[in-house]
Amino acid sequence: MNRREVIKNVALMLGGTFSASSLMAMNHWEQSTSPNKAGAVFILTDIQQKMVAEIAEIIIPKTETPGAKDVGVPAFIEMMLKDCYKEPDQESFMEGLASLEKVKFLSLNSDERKGVLKFLEQETKKMKSKSTPFWRLIKELTLLGYFTSEAGLKASFQYVQIPGKLELIKLKPNQKSYAY
């Protein structure tokens, strides 16, 4: 399956309306794909955890610096959703995973996975819903988890614990951001 086909399939899967939001809405009524019922504790299955890890790693891959998996982002995402997000967002996250399960995300190759996520990113922009869309959740948590982890932060930025002064400076070519 090439990328175009993947996207076509995703689109088909979305019920012909080409809208991720309507799929997510549909899933509300599909008991089997909505595992987090009201009041339920937010827990991911092994497969869901694996998908979260793979997506996080696509967002922040290992390069010459660590990637999302190296610094524990997948577990961080799950913990954050449980501790800091309310049910509508938790549900939205589960629904996002469910729709990716439907396109058998884990059995796609790397290019196909990226294609699906690019598609999802564009679709997310069109969504209007009260809860935070899946893509937005996983992206913000991946970035937060990565750039504030010790290894991620130190590899990405110039970490300054105690600046000791405040100075207007000129940026050098390729200079990294300071982090405090």
The residue ranges that bind another protein (CB under 8 A) are 58-61, 63, 65, 79-80, 83-86, 114, 117, 121, 136, 139-140, 143-145, 147-150, 153, 156-157, 160-171, 174-180
Residues 6 or more apart whose CB falls under 8 angstroms from that of 118 comprise none
Closer CB to another protein, residue 27 or residue 149?
Answer: 149
3-class DSSP state of 14: coil
Query: Shortest gap between Cβ of 179 and another protein (angstroms)?
Result: 7
Tokens of 54: 């793979």
3-class DSSP state of 158: strand
Query: Shortest gap between Cβ of 26 and another protein (angstroms)?
Result: 26
Query: Shortest gap between Cβ of 101 and another protein (angstroms)?
Result: 20
Closer CB to another protein, residue 32 or residue 84?
Answer: 84
Closer CB to another protein, residue 31 or residue 63?
Answer: 63
d(CA 50, CA 56): 10
Tokens of 5: 């086909």
Closer CB to another protein, residue 27 or residue 89?
Answer: 89
Query: Shortest gap between Cβ of 30 and another protein (angstroms)?
Result: 26
Task: Identify the bridge partners of residue 179 per DSSP, sorted by sequence position.
Answer: 159
Closer CB to another protein, residue 74 or residue 145?
Answer: 145
Give CA angle at 36 (34, 39), nearest 5°. Answer: 140
Query: Shortest gap between Cβ of 49 and another protein (angstroms)?
Result: 19
Give the count of beta carbons closer than 10 Å to the beta carbon of residue 41: 7
Reported as half-sphere exposure (CB side, CA atoms, 13 A), residue 77 has a value of 32
